[in-house]
Amino acid sequence: MSDNPFNNTISSSFNEPSPSPSTQLREGAEEVLSKATSSLKYCTLSIEETESNLQTNSKTGISSFEDAIQRRNIYGPNEIVQEDDEPIWKKFLMNFIEDPLILLLFGSAILSFLMGNIDDAISITMAILIVVTVGFVQEYRSEKSLEALNKLVPNECHLIRAGQSSNVLASQLVPGDLVHFKIGDRIPADLRIVEAIDLTIDESNLTGENEPVHKYPNAIDKNSYSDQAASFIPMSDRTCIAYMGTLVREGHGKGIVVGIAKDTSFGAVFEMMSTIEKPKTPLQLSMDKLGKDLSFFSFIIIGIICLIGIIQGRSWLEMFQISVSLAVAAIPEGLPVIVTVTLALGVLRMARRKAIVKRLPSVETLGSVNVICSDKTGTLTSNHMTVSKIWCLGSMSNKSNILSLETNKNGNFKNYLTEDLKQTLTVANLCNNSSFSHEHGKYLGNPTDIALLEQLSKFDLTDNRHSFTKIVEIPFNSKRKFMATLLEDPNSKNKKVYVKGAFEKVLSFADTFISKTGKIEKLTDDYRSIIIDCAENLASEGLRVLAFAKSDVPNDVNDIKENSIPSLSFAGLIAMNDPPRQTVKPAIEELQQGGVHIIMITGDSENTAVNIARQIGIPVYNPELSVVSGDKLDAMTDDQLANIIDHVNIFARATPEHKLNIVRALRKRGDIVAMTGDGVNDAPALKLADIGVAMGKMGTDVAKEASDMVLTDDDFSTILTAIEEGKGIFNNIQNFITFQLSTSIAALSLIALSTALKLPNPLNAMQILWINILMDGPPAQSLGVEPVDHEVMRKPPRNRSDKILTTEVLKRLLMTASCIIFGTVYVFVKEMTEDGQVTARDTTMTFTCFVFFDMFNALACRHASKSILKIGFFTNKMFNYAVGLSLLGQMCAIYVPFFQRIFKTESLGLNDLLLLLIISSSVLIADELRKAWLKRKSIDDPMYYSNV
């Protein structure tokens, strides 16, 4: 995944059928991309000319780190940053103009001023400033939180500088740097390709063409174009250029950086993309709809209140001000913003727990996941491969006679080095793409390759790859299940093919084997059975088993094909141990208790998969029913798979295509599926799954691009924490919606009731606006960051079709609103009847009572079913600060003379405050009784409580 936030947008823009962004891009593509002169210039230059122009080397890169620093000072970082031309003060002022309700309030203030009500005009103006400021701060915080999400997964690349290999952030690249890339990587800058091994690159996010493009090191001959055409060679014809942001689909290669940041084809497209507005998320759209529906009903009620008040002979200006204030307070225009802030802060919290959620709507989906399909290697296991055992047919023909390297992990095994064992280790060495990094002091690359190279020293062997010339390589992938290289010895000119892979696959190519003395002997059926038995025995111990073989080929052979591998001589088996992560077993137990079905999908054999599954707690009661191999899966239709998948926990010898079938079958049943993956071919399944989960360390950029979530530690238990956070965030959204809507309903009902009963208005316009600040401000926001209750995992996954405003939520907010209404009306009527008229004291008591009700209501809304005594009063610091500041503001409103004039209040005595606290606490007491009833109900019916 790139650290640029625009990759997803660009990719989707080209592939979407909708006319807006994609049409704009396609129509202007030629003009925009013509600005990307670096790739156009260097695609016609030879490798030597490119080296000369950029003062670099196609083998070792830039000559020194000091030179790289100087270039970075000249060219700047390799980052594309969206420039925000609009100053913050302008954004703030736009909030006054864009909201029609705020304009109405301004009109009310002007009318008050013209009619001589200077105090009212000043008060309303001050209230407008406070309301707009609170809303602006929330939106600004949301934007900054979303910007922070885009930097959570920095884009790394494999750099060769001054002859040393290292993994660095793509932002560190400068023109002239040498970059190595392999299958699954995202190209970090515009590169002039200098080496290409079976290289194809997906450029669909730039060109819109889905077919990957084959790349070669050869320069483009501009003489083959007309003079006019040569000035703009089409992007698809620049086959020696790898473009920034594109994805390596097959093979690997090296390239010299010729363009960075905005001086790339991607950067040119980005400049145009920055003018296209991002669409809202589904959750934001649903909140918008909820807000519009509530606004519609609120406007009807407010209109009726205003009309009745005027008919009753009340001042039309007073009713106008109250109606507009009610509209501002009752209409939850801040709801989508608070939802976005809550989601964004939750995502940042997940990031601290090693789960990067790329798309905000995915947070909502996490709470509904009821099936997790997980890779074994690196996710359920530690992905730290170590060679455990070695077996060769020639020297260890007895399948129980296996060389174990675990007996003496740091010892020397040179004395065991028979010729067939030596050849096995030689194949493991030469059929290998890991490289040693002097900067990191270790090998970098695939964990399997690293483990094989690390064993050489135990037999006094050294990495011998520099002594051979690689002619052709067939890279390993999960469908092919083997890797092959054709190498030439520069001294003897002899050529050999070296192959490693799944033992079934390698054996299918072999018809001979290497004996203990190095002699080539015929591989009979009996010998083949011994090899298979030994491999299966090793796999049953939970080890990953690879077979190794080699073959001489004629000197005139310069190519090998996947479907025409020459007859091989089997050398031996190497079994590697990848122990389960310690955190996985308890995570699986907790997920299963919460009703989540765990399915392990692996390319390893059935025996290996079953052994690991039993170690980590995945139930395998009957392997005949619980385990399905890739061969069986091939013979099944989607309907057949959907029928049996309920009791299947393991898919062995599975390919990425099988993953796609599994996800399709699960979704056909109505399951909400999370799928993990790390390879290029995993991308379709990750995209099809409801939640695609990519690995942050070992995952390819293609997988990260297709996923919704990235695990930065590649640990399965992180999925548990992510689902837990997802459920918790959704609960928090429900809680603050309950708080907001109950307050909104109470405020509307209070004014409507007093108007209908021909009572004076209990709250004036300024007091209603202050209540709006409390409803949309810090107290509501603090409910969105309530710490996640770990017991949320005991509840079954939420049905994705469930509405946010469930029946239980509606009952709860109506009960809460009723408490606030009756309590506030009681105080108002009691105070008014004591002196027979409405005084400043009466409205102050009513106003303060409502605010106290609001604070107790917020306290009650911290959890839907658990008592405040159980969750604790001080577990949410932000809530405590928010409520504390709100109460301080209320004290200022009734005791500070300046604010007394604005809110038309007067000082209250200590007894008054105590009385109001006792009355307003009734909303908390009522909610606590409701929670106690729920708890009692759960004893009789556990499923009732779990679904509330």
Tally of CB atoms within 10 A around 197: 18
DSSP, collapsed to helix, strand or coil, labels residue 277 as coil
Q: What are phi and psi of 380, to 5 degrees?
A: -85, -25
* Alpha-carbon span 612 to 649, nearest angstrom: 12
Helix 717-756 to helix 840-860 angle (10° resolution) is 160
* Alpha-carbon span 656 to 603, nearest angstrom: 9
CA distances from 435 to 166, 432, 820 (A): 10, 9, 69
Sign of CA dihedral 39, 43, 47, 52: negative
Q: Secondary structure of the chain: what % helix, strand, coil (to 5)?
A: 55, 15, 30
Question: What are the structure tokens assigned to 669, written together?
Answer: 């049943």
Give the gyration radius of the chain's Cα atoms: 34
Task: From 272, 275, 323, select the one nearest 299 (Cα to Cα).
Answer: 323
* Alpha-carbon span 475 to 480, nearest angstrom: 9
Cβ contacts of residue 592 below 8 Å, gap of 6+? 598, 617
Look up tokens 């009791």; give the residue.
647
DSSP, collapsed to helix, strand or coil, labels residue 214 as strand
Question: What's the chain's length in residues?
Answer: 948
- Measure the N-to-C terminal CA separation of the chain; round to a whole number of Å: 37
525 is an active site residue? no
Cα angle 47, 49, 52 (rounded to 5 degrees) comes to: 110
Q: Which of 190, 375, 714, 842 is catalytic?
A: 375
DSSP 697-727: SS--HHHHHH-SEEETT--THHHHHHHHHHH
Cβ contacts of residue 617 below 8 Å, gap of 6+? 584, 585, 588, 589, 592
Q: What are phi and psi of 874, to 5 degrees?
A: -120, 20
The alpha carbon of 446 is separated from its chain's Cα centroid by a whole number of angstroms, namely 24
- Residue 911 CB burial class (10 angstroms; 0-12, 13-18, ≥19): exposed
CA distances from 192 to 63, 69, 576 (A): 18, 21, 38
Q: What are phi and psi of 579, to 5 degrees?
A: -65, 150
> Kind and range of the H or E element at 912?
helix 910-920
Check if the beta carbon of residue 729 is closer than 8 Å to that of residue 797. no
CA distances from 937 to 763, 795, 807, 865, 923 (A): 40, 15, 17, 11, 21
Question: What are the structure tokens assigned to 712, written together?
Answer: 């930065």
Question: What are the structure tokens assigned to 868, written together?
Answer: 């405040």
* Alpha-carbon span 728 to 731, nearest angstrom: 5
Task: From 612, 662, 565, 594, select the one nearest 798 (Cα to Cα).
Answer: 594
* Alpha-carbon span 716 to 378, nearest angstrom: 9
Check if the beta carbon of residue 844 is closer than 8 Å to that of residue 900. no
Tally of CB atoms within 10 A around 130: 16
* Alpha-carbon span 516 to 482, nearest angstrom: 25
Residue spans of alpha helices (H) in 87-117: 88-98, 100-114
Relative to beta strand 355-357, strand 709-711 is antiparallel
Residues acting as catalytic residues: 375
